[in-house]
Amino acid sequence: MSRSSMWEAVREVVRRDVLLAMRRRSDAAMSVFFLVIVVSLFPLGVGPEPAVLKTIAPGVLWVAALLACLLSLSRVFTADYVDGALEQMVLAPQPLALLVAGKVFAHWLISGLPIVLLSPLLGLQFGLEGEALGALVLSLLLGTPTLSMIGAIGAALVLGVRGSGLLVALLVLPLYVPVLIFGAGAVTSSMAGIGAEANLSLLGACLVLSLFLAPWATAAALRIALE
């Protein structure tokens, strides 16, 4: 197979998913709204003390981003599974892992990128400023694709299984722990004046590793689900 046809297929997969999401914008908007609401609940629960809010900000923002990403996972494959498009992808001559990577990238564009773009605003709510805000955006920019990558494995494993919504959370959340630690750690350490580089590098390493391994695991899980 020629290399150009492979990339063309990936581009088409991304284009199709983004187009579908644009046709039904409320779906994509929901996870962003969820993030905003969850983040806004914390000051109401913890109290409006600025010092406290500033301390918990990295953790709260990152956990909320993680949950928002988790909630949107069911959209990665379910619709294509129901209408049979996924089966065509498995049968396609292009490598399934590559098509999966395209779908995950589209998922990140739809539900991960809005979180990254919105995060400075939410950070301001919690009194983050300057370098810490930059670290928050950068860490989410590096971390959310990893979340989408790992989440896709879980989404593929529970495809068509009863109670899949809760099950995917139980499977995926423990796997999210390193990303959460490095992501929140980047913001915390930049607030402490140590600099976020170490944690951001580790987030980048996680991203590279998940880019390398997750599409294959997801493809294997999809093949099992569609058998």
Which residues of the chain form contacts with other proteins (CB under 8 A)? 153, 157-158, 161-164, 167, 170-171, 173-175, 177-178, 181-182, 185, 188-189, 202, 206, 209, 213, 217, 220-221, 224-225, 227
The DSSP secondary structure of 37-64, one letter per residue, reads HHHHHHHHHH-S-HHHHHHHHHHHHHHH
* Residue closer to other proteins (CB basis): 7 or 212: 212
Nearest approach in angstroms of CB 36 to other proteins is: 27
Q: Write b or e for each residue in 113-143: b if 16 or more Cβ atoms lie within 10 A of its Cβ, otherwise e.
A: ebbbebbeebbeebebeeebbbbbbbbbbbb
User: For residues 60 and 42, is the Cβ–Cβ distance under 8 A?
Assistant: yes
* Residue closer to other proteins (CB basis): 39 or 214: 214
Nearest approach in angstroms of CB 142 to other proteins is: 14
* Residue closer to other proteins (CB basis): 18 or 175: 175
Tokens of 111: 């539900």
Nearest approach in angstroms of CB 136 to other proteins is: 17
* Residue closer to other proteins (CB basis): 22 or 208: 208
Nearest to 135 by CA among 177, 191, 62: 191
* Residue closer to other proteins (CB basis): 79 or 169: 169
Nearest approach in angstroms of CB 28 to other proteins is: 27
**Which are the contacts of 35, defined by CB distance < 8 A and separation ≥ 6?**
64, 65, 67, 68, 115, 118, 122
Nearest approach in angstroms of CB 23 to other proteins is: 32
